[in-house]
Amino acid sequence: MRGASRKWAAISQAAQRRYSEGMRRVVCIALMVLAGAWAADVVALNVVRPKELAGQLAGHRAALVVLQVGPNVLYRSKHIPGAIYAGPANRREGLDLLLSAVVKLPRDSQLVLYCGCCPWDHCPNIRPAVEMLRQMGFVHVRALYVPENFKADWIDHGYPVEEGAAK
């Protein structure tokens, strides 16, 4: 029986090694798929980085329509100068506010949306707002890429802000 036990132990160890290698491959593939999905999401949303947007706003403000699609408390605290409060897009009321903010705009308007309530990959407001605007026929919709939040990625970098109630 000892020979059979040793043989079984060797087979068992080989199977465990193959299982571990297989699981590592599965985990690796899953991580690559998730990273690809994130990258595709960033591309699909057509993002603009804070530094780039700040430069564009300094250069030709009239060509851009900036819409804040997050909580009103964030807008009232500090927001991008000239931004229009368009409501939190994760709720029907917010999408209705966004609709009323853009309904009369030409469909080729240069729109930039931002929220800043939380890290980019958890934001409940950007994607619904972009989707609605695309369905309405807007062709130049960009989202401000805010990796952490509006304070960390815009205010703390010294980009311009203003305070006040929704316009």
Token reading at 30: 């899953």
Whole-angstrom distance, CA of residue 44 vs CA of residue 42: 6
| pLDDT reported for residue 12 | 67
Structural domain ending residue among the three candidates 30, 45, 60:
45
Do 33 and 50 lie in one domain? The reply is no
Closest alpha carbon to 53 in 139, 142, 137: 142
Inside any domain, residue 32? yes
Do 65 and 136 lie in one domain? The reply is yes
Q: In what order do the strands lie in the sheet with 47-48?
A: 47-48, 140-144, 110-114, 64-68, 84-85
Inside any domain, residue 165? no
Q: Give per-residue pLDDT as tens, 133-160.
A: 999 999 999 999 999 999 999 999 999 9
| pLDDT reported for residue 6 | 74
Whole-angstrom distance, CA of residue 33 vs CA of residue 58: 38
Do 143 and 65 lie in one domain? The reply is yes
Do 66 and 39 lie in one domain? The reply is no
Residue of higher predicted confidence among 107 and 44: 107
Inside any domain, residue 164? no
Q: Which DSSP symbol is given to 108? A: T
Do 53 and 83 lie in one domain? The reply is yes
Inside any domain, residue 55? yes
pLDDT(23) > 50: yes
Looking at the 3D structure of the chain, how many domains does it have? 2
Do 114 and 36 lie in one domain? The reply is no
pTM score, whole prediction: 0.72
Do 62 and 92 lie in one domain? The reply is yes
Do 85 and 140 lie in one domain? The reply is yes
CATH at 86 = 3.40.250.10
Question: In the predicted model, what is the mean pLDDT of the chain?
Answer: 85
Do 105 and 85 lie in one domain? The reply is yes
How much of the chain, in percent, has pLDDT values that exceed 70?
A: 73
Q: Give per-residue pLDDT as tens, 30-79.
A: 555 555 444 444 447 899 999 999 999 988 766 899 999 999 999 999 99
Whole-angstrom distance, CA of residue 41 vs CA of residue 74: 25
Do 93 and 108 lie in one domain? The reply is yes
Domain containing 18 equals 1-45
Do 37 and 97 lie in one domain? The reply is no
Whole-angstrom distance, CA of residue 35 vs CA of residue 65: 31
Do 2 and 82 lie in one domain? The reply is no
DSSP H helices in 61-161: 72-77, 92-102, 126-135, 150-153
